């Protein structure tokens, strides 16, 4: 197990030495701490990753790099790039990097001895042609009207990735075309989306590799009924396309198989944004900008493949998560993008990270021996400051925060962005340094007395500093990372998503986990399929626990 290696034991001793040290003392002891613990990536147009507010020293990262070598992360990278079936429980390659390899002289990428790049190119070419047809008005609905609204119906990886990116790139959207997303099996999701749409000008994308996913196919059937009630059965072929490889089921639904876009079993759902799953995003921003996003992801791929671990952005983020979870005991991480456009990034990363790494059995079928993926949650700033930041500052729990900010605004309204950055930087500083009771008391004692009212009487008497000072104490020592991006555009977003994908890959290697299966998801589906006939009244309520039986009975 990884916990038995010398590298792990070195880190354990180092963590013991660091306990009791406050971040403000680490800064006071090293005036160059920011310079020592900041990494820049010039190919990303000068990205900056600031780790100086994490509870680490100059010794920590070399020790984590030792664990990188012990776990043979470079060897796992080579296996992935060679198309080896590193998703060993499903016998599949893991090659989402192939999806953004086009036009970069990356050479062939093979699975089972076959180069997959021609297939990737064929699908991208088909996506470009379809986007051009929609944008130009060449593709029209059954009544001859151009398409104004796109509704993507999928779930999980077939929804979260393109949905998040579509919102993130709102400043790049094609005019006069609206893209919507439906995922939840709850009818409220589909019904409220359709309420504002017109069948004659609406196109549906059904994203399901097998065309059997329960949530997706139920929503697709209801969308089909909505459309055919207005336009008739013959209209289906002009208002539905599919992202699937199950062409027989696609045809049975009424979709022309020529309007089905393929993707492959070596693309995991939560890593599939770069494939045909990204079609609604490409429609939202135009295919050229979608290609720019692929190029940004490819640039991050090359950085991850070549940079040494202490200069490697995905590796460094992975190191910090592992260090905080397994050596400092921090089981929660707050992702705090100071960008409204990145408002869905926490939700997207919940799937990417917690579905990939929320596991306790290693590649050898044994216990990992340590905690793995931290619980991830978050909200864009400054909204979160008026919700949960109180707990971050004075709640008595230590957790790691990850701030993301952009030097330039994607929607540059005068007076907004400077205030946004000021709040972002202030929060990480406050979490780091805190405020002692003596500092709080001195601040209160030096406060300016209230101004007299118009009647000449002073306002409320300021509270006694001895009374109020304890309430203004902030322990600080809350670790945080800040990632400063140039500007949120397609290239930057592509690199950002790839950054987190490779972080997940690195953590999987460090913990000796398969980050690419999801048996926990499958188990719940298995039970739901068994319960459905009981809830529908088609089978007796039997063979299940009394609580579940009672809940079913209460719904009859």
Q: Do 183 and 320 sit in the same domain of this protein?
A: no
Residues 161 and 222 in one domain: yes
> For 375-421, how does the pLDDT look when each residue is reduced to its tens digit (9 = 90+)?
999 999 999 999 999 999 999 999 999 999 999 999 999 999 999 99
Q: How far is CA 95 from the centre of its chain?
A: 18
Single residue among 267, 292, 317 that ends a domain in this structure? 292
How many Å apart are CA 147 and CA 270, to the nearest integer? 28
- Output the pLDDT for position 450: 61
- Within a domain: residue 183? yes
Which two structure tokens, joined as six digits, stand for 495?
Answer: 């690199």
Average pLDDT for the chain: 94
Q: Do 479 and 511 belong to one domain?
A: yes
**Confidence (pLDDT) at 166:** 98
Q: How many residues does the chain have?
A: 556
- Asked whether residue 416 falls in the same domain as residue 502, the answer is yes
Report the relative pairing of strands 178-182 and 400-406 from DSSP bridges.
unpaired
Position 462 pLDDT exceeds 70: no
* Any domain includes 182: yes
Q: Does the active-site annotation cover 355?
A: yes
**pLDDT of amino acid 197:** 98
Instruction: Tell me the C-alpha distance between 253 and 77, whole Å.
Output: 40
Mean pLDDT of 506-535: 94
- If you write DSSP's letter for every residue of 64-126 in order, what string do you get? HHHHHHHTTHHHHHHHHHTT---BTTTTB---GGGGG-TTTT----EETTEE-HHHHHHHHHH
Res. 445: pLDDT tops 60: yes
502 in active site: no
Averaged over 74-90, what is the pLDDT? Answer: 96
pLDDT, position 42: 85
Domain-embedded: residue 444: no
- 355, 379, 402, 501: the active-site residue: 355
427 and 497 both lie in a single domain: yes
Q: Give the three-class secondary structure for 435.
A: strand
- Check residue 383 and give its pLDDT: 95
User: Within a domain: residue 541?
Assistant: yes
Domain span including residue 542: 520-554
pLDDT, tens only, 166-187: 999 999 999 999 999 999 999 9
Band (106; pLDDT cuts 50, 70, 90): low
CA-to-CA distance for 358 and 346, rounded, in angstroms? 16
Q: Are residues 213 and 312 in the same domain?
A: no
Q: Give the domain CATH number at 362.
A: 3.40.50.10490
Structure tokens at 362: 């290693």
Q: In 137-255, which residue ranges form alpha helices assigned H by DSSP?
A: 160-168, 187-194, 214-231, 236-239, 247-253
- Tell me, yes or no, whether 235 and 311 share the same domain: no
pTM of the model: 0.95
CA atoms of 20 and 326, how far apart (whole Å): 17
Tokens of 50: 């600031």
Domain termination residue (choose one: 292, 323, 346)? 292
Query: Is residue 14 included in any domain, yes or no?
Result: yes
Catalytic one of 12, 386, 416, 419: 386
Cβ distance 267 to 501 under 8 Å? no
Task: Give the model confidence (pLDDT) of 153-162 as tens digits.
Answer: 999 999 999 9
Quick one: CA torsion of 11, 17, 22, 27, rounded to 10 degrees? Answer: -80
- Are residues 15 and 122 located together in one domain of the fold? no
SS3 of 148, please?
Answer: coil
Map residue 458 onto helix, strand or coil: strand
Predicted pLDDT at 43: 75
110 is catalytic: no
């Amino acid at each position: 197990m990884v916990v038995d290696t010398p590298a792990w034991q070195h880190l354990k001793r180092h963590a013991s030495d660091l306990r009791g040290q406050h971040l403000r003392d680490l800064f006071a002891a090293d005036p160059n701490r920011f310079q020592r613990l900041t990494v820049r990536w010039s190919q990303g147009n000068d990205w900056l990753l600031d780790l100086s507010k994490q509870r680490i020293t100059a010794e920590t990262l070399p020790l984590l790099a030792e664990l990188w070598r012990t776990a043979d992360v470079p060897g796992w990278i080579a296996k992935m790039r060679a198309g080896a079936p590193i998703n060993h429980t499903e016998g599949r390659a893991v090659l989402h990097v192939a999806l953004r390899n086009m036009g970069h002289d990356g050479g062939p990428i093979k699975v089972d001895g076959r180069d997959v790049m021609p297939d990737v190119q064929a699908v991208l070419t088909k996506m470009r042609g379809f986007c051009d047809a929609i944008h130009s008005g060449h593709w029209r609905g059954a009544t001859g009207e151009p398409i104004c609204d796109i509704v993507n119906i999928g779930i999980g990886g077939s929804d979260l990735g393109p949905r998040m990116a579509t919102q993130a790139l709102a400043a790049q959207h094609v005019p006069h075309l609206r893209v919507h997303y439906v995922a939840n099996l709850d009818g409220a999701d589909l019904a409220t989306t359709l309420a504002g749409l017109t069948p004659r000008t609406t196109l549906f994308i059904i994203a399901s590799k097998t065309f059997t996913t329960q949530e997706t196919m139920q929503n697709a059937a209801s969308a089909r009924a909505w459309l055919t009630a207005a336009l008739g059965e013959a209209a289906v072929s002009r208002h539905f396309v599919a992202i699937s490889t199950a062409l027989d089921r696609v045809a049975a639904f009424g979709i022309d198989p020529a309007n089905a876009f393929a993707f492959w079993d070596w693309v995991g759902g939560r890593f599939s944004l770069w494939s045909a799953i990204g079609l609604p995003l490409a429609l939202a921003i135009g295919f050229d900008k979608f290609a720019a996003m692929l190029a940004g992801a490819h640039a991050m791929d090359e950085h991850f493949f070549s940079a040494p671990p202490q200069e490697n952005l995905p590796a460094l983020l992975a190191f910090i998560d592992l260090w905080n979870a397994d050596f400092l005991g921090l089981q929660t991480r707050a992702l705090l993008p100071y960008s409204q456009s990145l408002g869905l990034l926490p939700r997207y990363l919940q799937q990417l990270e917690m579905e990939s790494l929320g596991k306790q059995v290693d590649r050898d079928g044994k216990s990992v021996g340590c905690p793995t993926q931290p619980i991830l949650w978050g909200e864009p700033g400054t909204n979160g400051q008026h919700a949960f930041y109180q707990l971050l500052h004075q709640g008595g729990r230590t957790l790691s925060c990850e701030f993301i900010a952009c030097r330039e605004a994607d929607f540059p309204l005068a007076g907004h962005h400077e205030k946004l950055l000021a709040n972002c930087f202030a929060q990480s500083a406050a979490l780091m340094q805190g405020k002692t009771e003596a500092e709080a008391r001195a601040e209160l004692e030096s406060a300016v007395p209230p101004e007299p009212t118009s009647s000449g009487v002073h306002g409320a008497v300021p509270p006694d500093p001895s009374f109020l000072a304890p309430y203004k104490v902030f322990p600080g020592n809350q670790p945080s990372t800040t990632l400063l991006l140039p500007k949120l555009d397609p290239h930057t977003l592509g690199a950002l998503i790839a950054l987190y994908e490779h972080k997940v890959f690195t953590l999987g290697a460090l913990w000796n986990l398969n980050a690419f299966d999801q048996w926990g998801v499958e188990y719940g589906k298995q039970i739901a399929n068994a319960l459905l006939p009981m809830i529908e009244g088609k089978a007796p309520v039997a063979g299940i626990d009394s609580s579940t039986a009672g809940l079913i009975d209460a719904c009859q």
